[in-house]
Amino acid sequence: MLTIAQVYPELLGTYGDGGNGLVLAERARRRDVEVRLVTSRFGEPLVDADIYLLGGGEDGPQRLAVSLLREASFRARIDDGATVFAVCAGLQLLGTSFSVEGDDEFAGLGVVDAVTRRGARRAVGDFVTVVGDTIMVGFENHGGMTNRGDGVAPFGAVQRGRGNGDGHDGFRANRVWATYAHGPVLALNPWLADDLLCELLGWKSVEPLASVADRLYNERLRVLTRRGNRSPHRPGRG
């Protein structure tokens, strides 16, 4: 049984982030994996899960989510083998500290050695990142600039947009996947959901699925290519 948990959607689910759980669960089921998709709600104990999904949120809810996750020993759950997929604010709170509401600095969960500070301007718009040898498409809407510590690998290389602010997007650490791509990024990039499943289930690869999401992803790639984006694309997707 694969248990997928969406964490505090009342606080970290402002931008349709719940779609990430729906996509991950459905692609697992279509490969005959028994799945339980659960929600850990604000005010309730954090459920046990194989993977926790952290979404985006505004400054106040982000600070509250950090406090609740600290009380729930969230970092210990990762140390015990759980995986995390985080977007936007979820990315920021996994680091050692983050700044919200101006220059005020708050302690993060310390899962990853990364510090987020407020940028001079907000990053809003189309977002294109090369992850490995595949293009991730999406949208970003954040005011952060994230500095990774020594030895912390980026999630990908930014081709369009800002990401961390240094030409890279997010970070990858042991069982932690974090990106500035906004909202239900797994719906826009079904190959990424498949890569997550491979890590969770110990698979080397999966056969492609014939789905609307895969066809829309390939169409968006064609549009980017027509606009002159020459980033690499892993063959055989979709």
Q: Which residues are catalytic?
A: 88, 182
| Strands 35-40 and 2-7, bridge-based pairing | parallel
For the four alpha carbons of 30, 31, 33 and 35, in that order, the dihedral sign comes to negative
CB 144 within 8 A of CB 115: no
CA atoms within 13 A on the CB side of 101: 9
State the amino acid at position 72 in one-letter form: A
State the amino acid at position 84 in one-letter form: V
Q: How far apart are CA 232 and CA 199, in angstroms?
A: 22
Which residues are CB-neighbours of 178 under 8 A, at least 6 positions away? 84, 85, 86, 87, 90, 91, 94, 112, 155, 170, 171, 172
Structure-block tokens of residue 134: 């595949």
CB 173 within 8 A of CB 129: no
In the 8-state DSSP scheme, what is residue 153?
A: B
State the amino acid at position 232 in one-letter form: P
